Amino acid sequence: GAATLLHESRIPTDHFQDSLPKMPVPALSDTLSKFLYFAEPLVSDDEHLLARRGVSAFAGAEGPALQAELLASSERQYTSYISAPWFDMYLRDRAPLLLNYNPQLTFEDEAARPSQANRAARLCHAAGRFLLTLEAGVLEPDVFHTKPTVSQTPLWREAVRLMPRSVAFYGAAATGAYALDMSQYANLFRSTRLPRPELDELSTCRDSRHVVVQRGGAFWAVDLLTPAGEPVPPSQLQGAFEAILASPADARGGSAGVGHLTSLPRGEWAALREQLCAAAPANGASLKQIDEALFAVCLDGSSPEELGEVNRAMLHGRGIDRWLDKSFQLVVTENAKAAINFEHSWGDGVSVLRLANEMFDASTALPTDTPAPPAAPPRRLDFELPPPLAAAVEEAGRRFDATIAGTDLATVMTDAFTTAALKKGGVSPDGMMQMSFQLAMAKMSGRSSRRTAPMHA
């Protein structure tokens, strides 16, 4: 019913997808010129001379043939020419997800500090309503409005709704409203990154109704949607989470620390996952429940207050109650701080930030009910670990701890500059931050970072 949805957009969610303009393949000469331009501050004069010679040789040899191949590939598909290589870059990288790829977005605190279970319940309920709104095709499309007085009106929405999908983007753009690609939302829920020996796989399923809840190394499945497809009431979710929090420590069985395996280099994790599945049927069944969950919920055992402590809790925590492969994890601490930690290969921050904003608004609008017994109680997911696998889990935990111990995290807040001031000066705020981190890296180590985004939330 309509009451289960966050809203009902007059413009269908995917209304603009068929008319989004493709990113054009740049001319080979432009690509080579930009390469030399951006390489100049990163290399020595001698190295840049070698680069210029290499570019000249490439332009006169295999370059034109490869450019023609790229153009032909772009013509065959209705997507950006960099999309496939971009996914390949992320999924082929064997580096651990921990710190290298998984960022986090911390929610604002609520004025009246609720309990851990209550805030987790309301945020999960809001996420379920977001999912149903998305799947019903009535989630308002992502649109960048440069003239909101023109485009954010009922008349504009009705006019754009009536436009054919094949031209809707251009009709909206004529009024200063630019629709954004929403294909990434397909991997927001029921999605995970599966470790493979050489190239990881993004996997989604269709019909799951549960979230996987992690607490102190134990895994539980909790239904977020009813068999009829309606959101489970927040009071019942709270009852389920409170039951998990009250479970004895030995309820975690032999599964304690299995989540640490997701922080290993991808090739190592891929091999251990195969061993885990082969060790016992229960392991494969539990992994299937985790993979197919709508998302993961981490009932963190800490109570951070200082900003740096909060960042650490949301970015990595103790690792024992994390599953870094999931599309996103909702982390809620004992003192009701909350954040979304997300795996980065499937998408960027735009869709996750949209989800976070909608979840916050919807969850804070819900009353703080008393908990109620859930219609379907939490179901514990068990793992059976023979000695070699138990030893591998313990070693993964030690490596996790060593990585975190060797990582510095500091926060700086300043009024010296603002987003508005930077934009007024013609400087991209994001670009300025990225270059600041590059400069810090160069001053500290004498070399530049080769990460695409050295800054992590």
Q: Which residues are catalytic, by number?
A: 344
- Number of neighbouring beta carbons within 10 Å of residue 72: 10
3-class state of residue 411 by DSSP: coil
State the Cα angle at 238 between 307 and 6, rounded to 5°. 80
CA distance 181 to 243: 41
Tell me the C-alpha distance between 225 and 16, whole Å: 29
Q: Among 338, 98, 108, which Cα is nearest to 241's?
A: 338
Cβ contact 29:63 at 8 Å: no
Beta carbons within 8 Å of 116's beta carbon, 6+ residues apart: 241, 245, 299, 332, 333, 334, 335, 336
User: How far is Cα 252 from Cα 320, in angstroms, rounded to an integer?
Assistant: 11
What's the chain's Rg over C-alpha atoms? Answer: 24
The contacts found for 52-58 with CB under 8 angstroms, 24 or more apart, are 58/32
Burial 407-428 (b: 16+ CB within 10 A, else e): eeeeeeeeeeeeeeebeeeeee
Instruction: Give the per-residue SS3 of 365-406.
Output: CCCCCCCCCCCCCCEEECCCCCHHHHHHHHHHHHHHHHHHHC
**Residue in 172, 174, 156 with CA at minimum distance from that of residue 164:** 172
The answer to whether the Cα torsion of 353, 359, 365, 370 is positive or negative is: negative
Q: Show Cβ contacts of residue 362 under 8 Å, excluding neighbours closer than 6 positions.
A: 6, 125, 126, 129, 130
